[in-house]
Structure 1
Amino acid sequence: MNHKILETLEYGRVKGQLAQFIVSATGRAELAKLEPQTDYTTIHHWVEETEDGADLLRLVGGIPLPELADVSPQLKRLKVQASLNGTELAQITQVLRTSMAVQNFFEGLVEKKIRLRTIDNLATSLVTIPEVTRRLARSLDPDGRVTDEASTKLHGVRQLITQTEVDIRHELERYTRGKQAKKLSDPIITIRNDRYVIPVLAQYRNQFGGVVHDQSASGQTLYIEPGSVVELNNRLRQAQIEERQEVRKVLAELSDLVRPYRNDIAQNAQLLGHLDLINAKAKLAAAMKASVPLLNQEGEVNLRMARHPLIDQEKVVANDIALGKDYQAIVITGPNTGGKTITLKTLGLIQLMAQSGMFIPANENSTVAIFDNVFADIGDEQSLEQNLSTFSGHMENVKRILEQITANSLVLLDELGAGTDPKEGAALAMAILDQIGATGSEVVVTTHYPELKVYGYDRAKTINASMEFDQQTLQPTYRLLLGVPGQSNGIAIAKRLGIEQAVIDEASSLVSDDSQDLNKMIGDLVEQRKRAREENERLQALVKENAATKEELDAKLDRFNEQRDKLLERARSEANHEVSQAKKKANQIIHHLRQLEIQGATVKENELIDAQGALNALHKDNPRLNHNSVLQRAKQKHQLKVGDHVNVKSYGQQGVLLNKRGAHKWEVQLGILKMAIDEADLEKISAKQAKQAEKKHAQPRRMAVRTIQTRQTSARLDLRGHRYEEAMSELASFIDHALLNNLPSVTIIHGKGTGALRKGTQQYLQSNPRVKNFEYASPSNGGDGATIAYF
């Protein structure tokens, strides 16, 4: 693609936006070479890579890449058998470590079941050298310093250096902290000529001995190495020399270790740089809220709400741009500063971005074509050096464009034919457009010439367009109106700016009626288009709002259903627990009465009342009914008073109110007993109901408990064919009646089947305290399909 278009459309500034997301030297080098491509396969592959990068950025924060230096100079030095320094080896180590980390990252994506289109193949091409990488990482710090673990000898030498320095400082501190400190210009330990010294006042020089290594500018201070540390300094110096030699040896060994893999390291650096560029494309797409372009090989462009990528995305006006399907030429007319040139640049720059594998600043499902070249003549081409006028400069550009275009090119022409006589300029513009149309190229042209409005209307596959102009404010809105030619607003603007009315009237009279009618017609079209667009925006906003409301309501309904199910499950669990507890308490009461029966003891009336009350207390009223206003009003109609007959609900007995005790309690006569009962436990009944209840329950005051057979009880119970809950209820009732009829044993037939009834039967028998033991029936009587229980 020609380089002039890259300059004209400021493609380099888009690459500058990408550069801020690049972290590696090879990534920056690849970005510098990045240019729009013309091969569909290449562009499609690049776009898929960017899609993968965008998916990874959204799902896992992107590909983990640190800053990587350019290692190509180091690799060239390895090729000529040179030894690298610590910094150079550390940079190579970073490349190797990053290669391993990236490969592990992509392996982790497989475990997470994150599917990619293409860039996972790049990771498989990375060459990892685990042993070499670990040795380098163990021997070098990130800044290139050789670590103590690089070799055993280096570790020992550095320990000796550290200990010797401690010994030297300990010895010199006798001078800086003892009686000799007053003879020092400053009680400190310093270094001169790589040896530890102390600053001694010149007059005390002879009292210290040793070696003088330096003196102050005034000569008043001498930096002396006392004789007591000379040997220690010598030992330190020797150890430091051995350390440097060992470091050089280690670096040479590490260089030899890396040397055979220099080609693999170079390939890794290139692959990591490419992944870095993919990461940068994905991050730029997220920053400008760009979408993946749909590639089209038929020359069709359909950009939905396209935005210029170099204008603040919060302020830029988006436009729909369509080209190549129903028409191959767009003629944009309208006043200056209306946005015509920006529209041309938006179309051209978005095409360049898409053909570079980048996402585009437009709504989803926007389509771009694959052009073999994009040409543009935009801006003032006047040249003083070549003595070219503006018109001549434009014509030179147009000449070169006409010589290079093909049926698969895109041409962008700004103010075609401007700079000369309007009649000739318009005629020339139409001839140029005809030539471009004959070649088959797609073209977008801006112009002021009214003749081109007619051209756009008459020519096949050509459409008029204009930039919207607000008639009320006489300000441009920067919106592209396809199918509507631009109108002239010069007289209206002059009037608004305060030109005298006489001048305005004179100018209007000189404009032909046809022109005025055409402007009026265009104005009406623009106004209708504006109203339609505003209504569409309102409806779109309403649809979006309704969709959001529906989504919110659906979410609330799902939460409600989920909470309802949880509450129902909890209620079932609590109800089952209550039933279990109630059955357990009822069994205890019945067992107590049976014990009394077996022992032949008599039961007092108050004991019967207590037992009946305990049984009735197991009943649980619905708590919601306690707050029912209808029931409360009904209760208020029946105020209790002394002498009323009442039913004590918790005991199931009738009594008479004797007197009131406190705010909510009454003294009640229950047979021969007098009890204090809460009024909430009392229910008023008529005297007739009380007499009927008295006759029904009439019995001697003191009597022995007798067993009365309530039903004909068989010694055998067949549970086969029953549901589990029904079977367990039938079993409990059967056992109760068997006990009341003093049966020594019973047989329960539960069958074999799934074993649920057998298990439930045996669990019940095991929990019943009246069951002494149980066993399976004999083989002739059902075997393990029946259980015999002994009481």
Structure 2
Amino acid sequence: MRVDNNPKIDTLINQLDLSEHIALFKHFFSRETSLYIEGDQELHYRYIKALDAIEFKAPPKVADFTNSKLHLKKHGVLQFEQIFEIIKVVRYFRYFKNKNLEGIIGEWMEKFVIEPKFLEVEKYFTHDGKFDENLDETLFGLSAKIKEHKANISSSLKRLTSSQKISPYLIDAQVHLVNDEECLLVRGGFNHVLKGAMVGRSSSGGFYVSPDVILKTKEQIRYINEEREAIFYTYAKEFSSRFAELLPFINFADKEFTKFDNYQARVLFAKGRDLQLIKSKKDSKIILDGFIHPALHHAKPMHVDFSKNILMITGVNAGGKTMLLKSILSAAFMAKYIIPMKLNEHKSHIGNFKHVLAIIDDPQNVKNDISTFAGRMQEFSKIFEHKDALVGVDEIELGTDSDEAAALFKVILDELILKGHKIVVTTHHKRLAALMADRDDVELMAAIYDEQNRVPTYEFMHGIIGKSYAFETASRYGISNKIVQEAKILYGDNSEKLNLLIERGSQLERELKQKHKKVDEKLYELEAKERDLKEEKIRIFQELQKEKNALKESYKIAIDEAKNAARAGDMKAIHRAMNEANKKLPPEKKEPKIAQIVEFKVGENVKYHSKKGVIIAMKDKNEAIVEVDGMRVRAKTSQLKHTQIIKQKSTTEVKLDVQKRAGLKCDLHGMRAEEATEVLDKFISDALINGWDEVIVYHGIGTGKLSYAVKEFLKAHPRVKKFEDAPQHMGGFGAKVVTL
């Protein structure tokens, strides 16, 4: 079924106020196609959801290939524009293939193997579809000649404008382009001084004249262009011949692009307008949570549980009954065609129906001499021709006596149920609702009315029959209280059954308030638990700090013992002291993992995949709307990372592996002065980092140059307190003991 060519579907779209939504959706397609995706809807939905999880650029606008493929099949010659349309599709698939995606999208892209023959044609077209004349020596030369001739024409015209003979007749000194002809704008009488062809008149009465002096050059350009066109035709013929051989590949690319176009349009439409992707399930249950009809702006989200066979909507005038009916039918229609919509996709459930049928408008028509009720009967008779449909009827008793209609429509609804239909009806009257209220397969919903302020709330309550509030509405719109009171007396009391149902509604409302109270209490308990968790986190952190401080103190004792051993100058004693120090270090203890609760707020900078963006809205704690590169993206908070990290004061980092610390001596023997100072600089830095306050540097005696460089360096170093020649047994004049 092709939605675009089906008048009944177009009528349904108009009836459900979806025309603007569908029109916006179609703008995301690369080329005109059906809204319905032929084939396995479950498989299509898997591809759509997989595509929704990745970032990609929209495909280019592409023409239909039908005529081009027909020409190739008959060995015809395609125009460059038709050839480039095919190239655009293949280039886009190459772009997607080069993303090296995983999963079903990656597997799909692997099926595209581009033939070398195709590449031989593609290389002749630039990114914007122009033929690259630089690849053909003859064309390149002809283009150069045309440029040369055009330069000559420009020079000739400039000479004419500067001519003293012609200048009195010139209206301006510009070169004009009229009807693709270069010309001058002159006054009357120009023919005495200028020979040429008049190509037009100006609004001020001047004449656009193409001088004869450039005719010869323009004729030469025309001959060159004819030669170029002949070469272009030769290429087009050659390219078409190669594409004819690649017709199976082109058919495959065309078919797959149509399918991909259906997928990407849904994904980008949903992302661009913050909508959700949901498809119909394999049953007839309808549960809508947070649904907003596309035609409504700043509307209250709707919550509907329509699991039974019939949903009867009653209540106040202008309370939203008709829009609720349209919303239920619209959700079913859009889910059937996987058209993005606004709702909570995780809590909603939409069944699948062969047909979605609506009886909404008044069928009365002067031309066909048909009454409202007769027209309704005609529409109902057509519904009996279908099976397993979702049917919506607005004002079911419209056009006839409500008592008779109640009996008639009760039987009609029973028969429609037997044919597998699921039915939504709205009514102002309570007769039919009262007849069917005690049935298990009937769900009641009533529009809620604010009696105190005497206005509809556009909200609904399950399980009750709503009052129409005709008297209250009349008073609100200026009917006198005397008339309203007399009408109330004439109306009398409602039937006992209706009173019981209305009382049941009040009872349900009280039960709903109790449930809200329980939910609030549960929320308070959860908040208390959250506070306890935060306090536990602080306590664990303090214990961790305490253990770190103890470890730091123990480490300091171990280091001091190692330093004392180092001052003795005995390497064996150093090693013994280091071993003893290691024994005194406490055993390594794993730090307890503290659960990090990452919270996101509106306005925070975040990173989504490889893109940076800003949170512009929070749907709940687990989902956010992020603006990335000018586009709004719906993302889980688990996929987001903060880009502004708040650095906390960190405690002193303690390393346990003492043997890997820097040494106490630095040997510079054999080094040049420049190299030695670099090594010495790093050695002193390492010694300072590791806590040494005394080290020894060996430089030898030699020529004295290295010794001099070391002294000068140590004098200039800001962290060197003093230095002196080492004792005789530690190197004497060939070494320095440095105090840090």
Q: What TM-score comes out, normalization by structure 2 length?
A: 0.65
Alignment of 1:478-557 (within 5 A): 478-497=458-477, 499-513=479-493, 515=495, 526=505, 529=508
Deviates more, 1:487-496 or 1:273-282: 487-496
The aligned amino acid for 1:725 is N
Q: 2:445 is matched with which residue?
A: 465
**Residue 183 to residue 119, structure 1, CA distance change in 2 (3 Å):** same
Is 1:293–1:365's contact at 8 Å kept on the other side of the alignment? no
3-state SS, counterpart of residue 33 of structure 2 = helix
3-state SS, counterpart of residue 437 of structure 2 = helix
Cα deviation, residue 350, structure 1:
0.9
Q: 2 CA distance for matches of 1:126 and 1:172?
A: 55
The aligned amino acid for 1:136 is E
Aligned pair partner of 2:133 in 148, 154, 160: 148
Cα deviation, residue 427, structure 1:
1.2
Is 1:466–1:484's contact at 8 Å kept on the other side of the alignment? yes
Aligned pair partner of 1:333 in 314, 327, 338: 314
**Residue 583 to residue 133, structure 1, CA distance change in 2 (3 Å):** same
Q: 1:268 is matched with which residue?
A: 253
Is 1:199–1:224's contact at 8 Å kept on the other side of the alignment? no
Is 2:355–2:390's contact at 8 Å kept on the other side of the alignment? yes
Is 1:25–1:68's contact at 8 Å kept on the other side of the alignment? no
**Residue 465 to residue 80, structure 1, CA distance change in 2 (3 Å):** same
3-state SS, counterpart of residue 479 of structure 1 = strand
**Residue 571 to residue 253, structure 1, CA distance change in 2 (3 Å):** farther
Cα deviation, residue 348, structure 1:
1.5
Give per-residue Cα distances to partners, 1:230-257, cap 9 Å, x unaligned: 9867765654443333333333333333
Aligned pair partner of 1:249 in 217, 234, 238: 234
Alignment of 1:285-434 (within 5 A): 285-286=270-271, 289-293=274-278, 295-312=280-297, 314-324=298-308, 328-363=309-344, 364-405=346-387, 408-434=388-414
**Residue 331 to residue 19, structure 1, CA distance change in 2 (3 Å):** closer
**Residue 47 to residue 764, structure 1, CA distance change in 2 (3 Å):** same
Q: 1 CA distance for matches of 2:407 and 2:526?
A: 53
3-state SS, counterpart of residue 357 of structure 2 = strand
How many residue pairs get aligned? The number is 597
Aligned pair partner of 1:82 in 76, 97, 111: 76
**Residue 571 to residue 73, structure 1, CA distance change in 2 (3 Å):** farther
3-state SS, counterpart of residue 320 of structure 1 = strand
Q: 1 CA distance for matches of 2:188 and 2:385?
A: 90
Alignment of 1:693-712 (within 5 A): none
Gaps of 5+ in 2: 586-656, 668-693, 701-728, 731-740
**Residue 458 to residue 103, structure 1, CA distance change in 2 (3 Å):** same
Q: 1 CA distance for matches of 2:391 and 2:215?
A: 84
Cα deviation, residue 180, structure 1:
6.7
Cα deviation, residue 543, structure 1:
8.1
3-state SS, counterpart of residue 445 of structure 1 = strand
Cα deviation, residue 65, structure 1:
0.9
Give per-residue Cα distances to partners, 1:598-628, cap 9 Å, x unaligned: xxxxxxxxxxxxxxxxxxxxxxxxxxxxxxx
Residue 74 (structure 2) pairs with residue 123 (structure 1): no
**Residue 203 to residue 334, structure 1, CA distance change in 2 (3 Å):** closer
Cα deviation, residue 538, structure 1:
8.6
Cα deviation, residue 152, structure 1:
1.1
Q: 1 CA distance for matches of 2:230 and 2:579?
A: 94
3-state SS, counterpart of residue 358 of structure 2 = strand
Cα deviation, residue 482, structure 1:
1.7
**Residue 96 to residue 320, structure 1, CA distance change in 2 (3 Å):** same
Tell me the percent identity.
Answer: 20
3-state SS, counterpart of residue 146 of structure 1 = coil
3-state SS, counterpart of residue 243 of structure 2 = helix
Aligned pair partner of 2:33 in 21, 29, 35: 29
| Backbone CA RMSD of aligned residues | 5.4
Q: 1 CA distance for matches of 2:428 and 2:66?
A: 55
Cα deviation, residue 153, structure 1:
0.8
Aligned pair partner of 1:136 in 105, 109, 122: 122
**Residue 202 to residue 319, structure 1, CA distance change in 2 (3 Å):** closer
**Residue 765 to residue 433, structure 1, CA distance change in 2 (3 Å):** same
3-state SS, counterpart of residue 384 of structure 2 = helix
Cα deviation, residue 43, structure 1:
3.0
Deviates more, 1:553-562 or 1:376-385: 553-562
Q: 2 CA distance for matches of 1:476 and 1:400?
A: 35
Cα deviation, residue 469, structure 1:
1.8
Q: 1 CA distance for matches of 2:398 and 2:252?
A: 53
Q: 2:87 is matched with which residue?
A: 93
Q: 2 CA distance for matches of 1:567 and 1:224?
A: 98
Residue 425 (structure 2) pairs with residue 441 (structure 1): no
Is 1:373–1:409's contact at 8 Å kept on the other side of the alignment? yes
Is 2:286–2:349's contact at 8 Å kept on the other side of the alignment? yes
3-state SS, counterpart of residue 321 of structure 1 = strand
Q: 2 CA distance for matches of 1:194 and 1:45?
A: 55
Cα deviation, residue 470, structure 1:
1.8
Which structure has the larger Rg over C-alpha atoms? 1
**Residue 240 to residue 369, structure 1, CA distance change in 2 (3 Å):** closer
Q: 2 CA distance for matches of 1:348 and 1:196?
A: 63
Residue 157 (structure 2) pairs with residue 157 (structure 1): no
Q: 1 CA distance for matches of 2:210 and 2:166?
A: 14
Q: 1 CA distance for matches of 2:465 and 2:288?
A: 20
Q: 1 CA distance for matches of 2:432 and 2:66?
A: 57
3-state SS, counterpart of residue 138 of structure 1 = coil
The aligned amino acid for 2:302 is A
Is 1:78–1:255's contact at 8 Å kept on the other side of the alignment? yes
Residue 462 (structure 2) pairs with residue 456 (structure 1): no
3-state SS, counterpart of residue 65 of structure 1 = coil
Alignment of 1:656-671 (within 5 A): none
The aligned amino acid for 2:44 is W
Q: 1 CA distance for matches of 2:575 and 2:199?
A: 118
Cα deviation, residue 719, structure 1:
4.1
Deviates more, 1:425-434 or 1:65-74: 65-74
Q: 2 CA distance for matches of 1:63 and 1:147?
A: 26
Cα deviation, residue 366, structure 1:
1.2
Q: 2:24 is matched with which residue?
A: 20
Alignment of 1:4-19 (within 5 A): 4=8, 7-8=11-12, 10=14, 14=18, 17-19=21-23
**Residue 449 to residue 171, structure 1, CA distance change in 2 (3 Å):** closer
Q: What TM-score comes out, normalization by structure 1 length?
A: 0.61
Q: 1 CA distance for matches of 2:154 and 2:535?
A: 75
Cα deviation, residue 161, structure 1:
2.9
Cα deviation, residue 401, structure 1:
1.8
Cα deviation, residue 762, structure 1:
8.3
**Residue 557 to residue 184, structure 1, CA distance change in 2 (3 Å):** farther
Is 1:381–1:393's contact at 8 Å kept on the other side of the alignment? yes
Larger helix percent? 1
Q: 2:48 is matched with which residue?
A: 50
